């Protein structure tokens, strides 16, 4: 860490402002800087005190390697470079950070195939910057803990496991990259809308297609057919009531027919209620007016979520286009919010997106440091196991947590080959 000074002129006078900045080594041997603390304008004696207090700590990083572990009081069965002895009494747990909500948000991101879309449209720069991952970090930040790009850089990224989930380092949260990423987004706005329209249709209107797929399958037992139909019903319970399914009565035949229940559909439409809509747009068709009105209610609901759960607030950017891009990122976060809400409506209707994200926040990631008898350290990155209530929610949402990350071993402060 070190002190960085910035000179600014106010009313014809020069003022020197100080910040504490940390050097962080990232991939390819590069170093990026993170602002740790803003000190403001300090006098010479305060400056000397800060310089005397701060020490510099840097750890280089290379490729990790998995090894076998043995406690200190037990001899290793064989001598090998891939076997180490550990000192269990010196075990340490470090750097607790939020993992669960970030992981769920990444799953929603993949569900909408936004990772693929932006990988195509935001290619890696010549210097190796993964702009698609910088954007993914910004979007998930807007969903979970909305705020400024500066807050993401200063606090949020290091307090979460986004780097672990994306297999990247602090380079994703470098301040100038967060702002430069905004400059690259608006050109792809229409392509994104087209992508999302098609993706939402795939996710939420797939019952008819699924029934055709099941009908084309061959089953040796009727119970297997019933299980497939039951799973399709559970995925789309609202649409299922409008479909009539008739399974063959013959014990030797495992087939079925399905058709649209037109009478039921008419009843549903009739029972939706009537609404008197008055408008001064007398030249428009009634159906078009109603469509515009429904769109208005959806827009109002979206703004309610943007100002509530996503905390969209007054924006301050140096470029006007970045304000629109900032709102565009908030819109992407809203897409994840809407996807989760629709997902919950079928599988866990009593829960809201915010309550589910809060439940997943309980899953933390920690670094377990195991010192070895030869002076090295084995580092295990581990997320905590879900409590019973959260495990039930995972089962209800048909989600399975990934495998724990592989261990890493250090040698003289660096990861050994």
- Tens digit of each residue's pLDDT (9 = 90 or more) over 190-246: 999 888 877 655 654 677 778 888 888 888 788 888 888 888 887 776 677 778 888
Q: Quick one: 225 and 282 in the same domain?
A: yes
Q: Quick one: 228 and 286 in the same domain?
A: yes
Tell whether 310 is covered by a domain: no
Tell whether 200 is covered by a domain: no
Q: Quick one: 121 and 179 in the same domain?
A: yes
More confident residue, 275 or 352: 352
Long-range contacts of 31-36 (CB under 8 A, 24+ apart): 32/170, 32/171, 32/174, 33/174, 34/153, 34/154, 34/158, 34/170, 34/173, 34/174, 35/153, 35/154, 35/175, 36/1, 36/154
Tell whether 189 is covered by a domain: no
Give me the domain span that covers residue 267.
Answer: 210-297
Please tell me the predicted confidence (pLDDT) of residue 97: 95
CA–CA dist 281, 190 (Å, integer): 28
Q: Quick one: 232 and 381 in the same domain?
A: no
Q: Quick one: 108 and 254 in the same domain?
A: no
Tell whether 152 is covered by a domain: yes
| pLDDT at 104 exceeding the cut of 90 | yes
Helix residue spans in 30-99 (DSSP H): 44-53
Please tell me the predicted confidence (pLDDT) of residue 143: 92
Please tell me the predicted confidence (pLDDT) of residue 22: 79
More confident residue, 95 or 207: 95
| pLDDT at 138 exceeding the cut of 90 | yes
Q: Which runs of E-coded beta strand occur in 155-252?
A: 243-247
31 near 169, Cβ under 8 Å? no
0.75 cut: is pTM over it? no
Structurally, the chain folds into a number of domains equal to 4
| pLDDT at 107 exceeding the cut of 80 | yes
Q: Quick one: 343 and 402 in the same domain?
A: no
Please tell me the predicted confidence (pLDDT) of residue 108: 95
Tell whether 58 is covered by a domain: no
Q: Which residues of 342-355 are buried (b: 16+ CB within 10 A; e: fewer)?
A: ebbeebeeebebee
Q: What percent of the chain has pLDDT over 70?
A: 75
| pLDDT at 147 exceeding the cut of 70 | yes
| pLDDT at 361 exceeding the cut of 60 | yes
Q: Quick one: 108 and 167 in the same domain?
A: yes
**DSSP element (H, E) containing 6:** strand 2-10
Least confident of 6-15, 291-300, 303-312: 303-312
Please tell me the predicted confidence (pLDDT) of residue 316: 61
Tell whether 111 is covered by a domain: yes
Tell whether 316 is covered by a domain: no
Please tell me the predicted confidence (pLDDT) of residue 309: 59
Tell whether 311 is covered by a domain: no
| pLDDT at 327 exceeding the cut of 50 | yes
Please tell me the predicted confidence (pLDDT) of residue 133: 97
Strand bridging mode 13-25 / 2-10? antiparallel
Between the alpha carbon of residue 91 and those of residues 72, 316, 381, 398, 399, the distances in Å are 12, 46, 13, 35, 32
Q: Which residues of 171-198 are buried (b: 16+ CB within 10 A; e: fewer)?
A: bbbbbebbbebbebbeebeeebeebbee
More confident residue, 128 or 301: 128
């Amino acid at each position: 860490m070190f002190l960085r000074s910035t000179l600014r002129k106010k009313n014809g006078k020069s003022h020197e402002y100080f910040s504490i900045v940390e050097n962080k080594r990232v991939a390819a041997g590069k170093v990026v800087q993170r602002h740790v603390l803003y000190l403001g304008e300090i006098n010479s004696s305060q400056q000397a005190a800060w310089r005397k207090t701060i020490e510099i700590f840097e750890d280089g990083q290379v490729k990790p390697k998995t090894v076998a572990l043995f406690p200190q009081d037990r001899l290793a069965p064989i001598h090998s470079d891939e076997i180490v002895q550990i000192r269990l009494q010196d075990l340490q747990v470090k750097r607790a950070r939020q993992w669960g909500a970030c992981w769920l948000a990444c799953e929603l991101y993949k569900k909408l195939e936004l990772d693929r879309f932006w990988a195509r449209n935001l290619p890696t720069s010549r210097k190796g910057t993964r702009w698609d991952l910088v954007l993914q970090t910004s979007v998930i930040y807007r969903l979970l803990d909305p705020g400024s790009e500066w807050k993401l850089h200063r606090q949020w990224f290091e307090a979460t496991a986004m780097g672990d989930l994306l297999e990247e380092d602090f380079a994703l949260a470098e301040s100038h990259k967060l702002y430069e990423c905004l400059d690259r987004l608006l050109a792809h706005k229409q392509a994104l809308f087209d992508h999302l329209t098609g993706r939402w249709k795939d996710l939420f209107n797939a019952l008819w297609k699924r029934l055709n797929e099941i009908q084309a399958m061959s089953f040796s037992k009727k119970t297997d057919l019933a299980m497939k139909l039951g799973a399709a019903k559970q995925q789309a319970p609202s649409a299922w009531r409008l479909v009539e399914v008739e399974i063959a009565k013959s014990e030797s035949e495992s087939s079925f027919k399905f058709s649209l229940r037109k009478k039921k559909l008419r009843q549903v439409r009739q029972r939706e209620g009537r609404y008197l809509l008055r408008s001064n747009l007398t030249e428009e068709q009634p159906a078009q007016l109603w469509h515009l009105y429904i769109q208005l209610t959806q827009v109002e609901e979206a703004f309610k979520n943007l100002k509530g759960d996503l905390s969209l607030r007054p924006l301050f950017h140096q470029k006007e286009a970045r304000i629109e891009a900032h709102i565009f990122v908030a819109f992407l976060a809203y897409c994840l919010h809407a996807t989760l809400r629709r997902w919950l409506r079928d599988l866990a209707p009593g829960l809201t997106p915010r309550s589910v994200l809060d439940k997943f926040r309980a899953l933390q990631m920690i670094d377990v440091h195991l010192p070895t008898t030869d002076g090295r350290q084995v580092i295990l990155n581990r997320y905590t196991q879900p409590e019973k209530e959260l495990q039930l929610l995972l089962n209800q949402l048909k989600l399975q947590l990934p495998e724990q990350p592989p261990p890493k071993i250090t040698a003289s402060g660096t990861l050994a080959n």
